[in-house]
Structure 1
C-alpha cells in the first residue's frame, strides 16, 4: 500500500530531489552559506517533506474509508433527504390549502358583490324600457355594455370551479342562439345589422349556461366589429367525423393574420381591438377556457376587411362525459 502510494507520487519525490540538489549547489557556490550546517538544512527539508507525505497518506486513507462506507452514507443521506422532502411537501400542502381557502373566500366576496350589482342593473333595465324611444336607444347600449362586462366578471370568478358548476343536458342549439341574439338586439338595431340563421335545429349534449356564455362572447365580437348594415350569418354543419359544428360568420373588420394565433390569450386586444375603446381582450380568452372544459374546440378563419368565421365543434356524448370527468 505504501509502495503504491509512493509510486503514484514520483513527481513529488522528483521535485524534492531537485530542490535538494539546488540547495546544495547554492551552498557549494556561495561561501556565505558555509557557516550554516549543510546536514542541518538537508535534515530539516527531509523532515518537512516526510511530514507532508505522512499527512497526505493518512488523509487519503481516510478518503478511501469514506468511499468504502459510501453506501451506508448514501442511505443516511437518502433518509435525511426524504425526511426533508416530506416536510417540504407537507408545508407546501398547508400553504396550498391556505391559498385555496383565501381565494375561495375572496371569490365568494366578489360573487356576492356582482350579484348585488345585478339587482339595481335589472331595475335600470325596466326603467329604460319605459323611456321615449330616442332616449332609450343610447341608454340601452350603455346598459348592455355594463351588463356584458358584469357578465364577464361573474364567469371569470366561476371559471375556476366550472367542474362543480356543470350540468350535463340536451341543449337545443337554436334556442340558445336565439336567446343570445335577443340579448344583443338593441346593439344590432343601432348598427342596422341583419342576422341569418340556418341549419342549427339540432340538440347537443352540453351545459346550457356555459354554452350560452361562449356563444355570447363570440357573437358580441361579431356585432362589435361588424360595419353598419352588415349581415351576421349563423349556421350549422358537421365535420368529417360527424361532430356537430356551429359557425358564426361576420363581414366586419376581420383579424390581422399576425394576431390570429394570439386572440385567445388573456387581455390580448390586437390591432383591431385597439380601435375599440370597449375591448378588454377577455371575452375570447374566457370563451376558450370554458370551451376546453366542455370539450368544445373553437377555430377561426379571418381576413382583414373581409370578416371572420368562428367555428365551434361539439363533442359527441361519450367525448363530453370523458371531458367533464377529467
Structure 2
C-alpha cells in the first residue's frame, strides 16, 4: 500500500524536490543569504514534508480501505453510513453506483427474459409431447411390420431429442427438482432398454445385462436421463448385430460402479478429454448428421449435480465403457447438505 501511495503522490514529491533545488540555487546566487545555514533550511523542509506525507498516508489509506470495503459490500446505501470519503472518492463512489445500478437493471431484465424464454420453451416441449404420444399410439395400427419398425425408430429419435431439450431446460433448476432415494439399478436400466427397443430391433442390437440387484441412493428420474444418453450413444455408434454389455461392481472404496460397454467404433484418444464439452461431436460425430454434441454434455452436468461421477475408457475400433460411480453414504450426506 505504501508503494501505491508513493506512486500516486509522485507529483508532490517531484514538486518538493524542485522547490529544494530552487531554494539551494537561490541561496548560492543571492549574496544577501550567505549568513543563513542552507543545511538547516533543507533539513527543516525535509522533516516538515516527511511529516506531512506520513499524515496524508495515514488519512488517505484509511479512506481508501473504507472506500474499497464498501465497494465489496455492493454499495449498501453509502450515504447512510457516514463514510469519511474525500470529495473525489465520493464522486467516484456515486458514479460507480450509477453504473452498477444500470448494469444490475439490465441483468435483471435479461434474467426475466431468459426465464420467460425458458418457460415458453418448457411449455412448447410439453405441447409437442402430446402429439408424439398420439403418433406412438397410431403406430400400432400400421400393418406393414417393416414400415412400422422404421416409423417407431424415427419416432424414438424424435422423442429423444424432445426429451433432451426438456431436461436441458430443467437443468438450471435441478436442485429444486431432484429427490434422492434408494433405488434398484435393475428397475431404471430395464426401463430404458425397453424404451430403446424399436431402435435396437432395427439395428439388431442386443443386451447382455447382469442381475443388477445393487441398490444406490440417487434421483431415479435424472439417473434414467443419464443412462438414456449413454445407451442412445451406444446404439447409435455400434455396428449392426452387436451387443451392449451392462454390469456392476464395487470399487476399493465400497462405491457401486455401473458399467455400460458397447462394441462401437470407439473414441479417439485426442477426443476423450472433450467428449463432455457442450456441442462437441468429436471425429465420429462429424461423420453423423444425427450427432448434436449435447447428450454427453447434459449427462455429465446432471451427474455432477446428483453426485454421480462418469468416466470413460475407449479406443478406436474396440468400443467404449462408460462407468457411473455412485456416491457413498458420507458423500451423499455432503451432497444433500449443499
- TM-score, length-normalised on structure 2? 0.76
Q: Deviations over 1:88-146 (max 9, x none)?
A: 57847666555444332321111111101111111111112211212212211211111
CA change 1:136–1:173 in 2 (3 A) is same
Residue number among 74, 77, 87 corresponding to 2:64 in the alignment: 77
The 5-angstrom pairing of residues 100-139 of structure 1 reads: 100-131=111-142, 132-139=144-151
Instruction: Look up the SS of the partner of 2:259 in the other structure.
Output: strand
**Unpaired runs of 5+ in structure 2?**
1-15, 34-40, 77-99
CA change 1:70–1:85 in 2 (3 A) is same
Residue of structure 2 in register with 1:307 after alignment: 319
Residue of structure 2 in register with 1:216 after alignment: 228
Residue of structure 2 in register with 1:51 after alignment: none
Q: Deviations over 1:173-193 (max 9, x none)?
A: 111111101111111111111
- 1:275 paired with 2:287, answer yes
CA change 1:100–1:325 in 2 (3 A) is farther
Instruction: Look up the SS of the partner of 1:160 in the other structure.
Output: helix
Number of residue equivalences: 287
> What do you get for the CA RMSD once the two structures are aligned?
3.1
Q: Which runs of 4+ in 1 moved over 3 A?
A: 8-14, 57-64, 77-102
C-alpha distance in structure 2 between counterparts of 1:164 and 1:117, whole Å:
24
C-alpha distance in structure 1 between counterparts of 2:73 and 2:164, whole Å:
41
CA change 1:261–1:115 in 2 (3 A) is same
CA change 1:96–1:10 in 2 (3 A) is closer
Residue of structure 1 in register with 2:310 after alignment: 298
The 5-angstrom pairing of residues 1-326 of structure 1 reads: 65-87=52-74, 91=101, 97-131=108-142, 132-326=144-338
* CA positional deviation for 1:76: 2.9
C-alpha distance in structure 2 between counterparts of 1:287 and 1:313, whole Å:
13
C-alpha distance in structure 2 between counterparts of 1:282 and 1:180, whole Å:
19
- TM-score, length-normalised on structure 1? 0.78
C-alpha distance in structure 2 between counterparts of 1:320 and 1:150, whole Å:
31
C-alpha distance in structure 1 between counterparts of 2:308 and 2:23, whole Å:
76
C-alpha distance in structure 1 between counterparts of 2:74 and 2:146, whole Å:
68
**Unpaired runs of 5+ in structure 1?**
21-41, 47-53
CA change 1:88–1:128 in 2 (3 A) is farther
CA change 1:59–1:95 in 2 (3 A) is farther
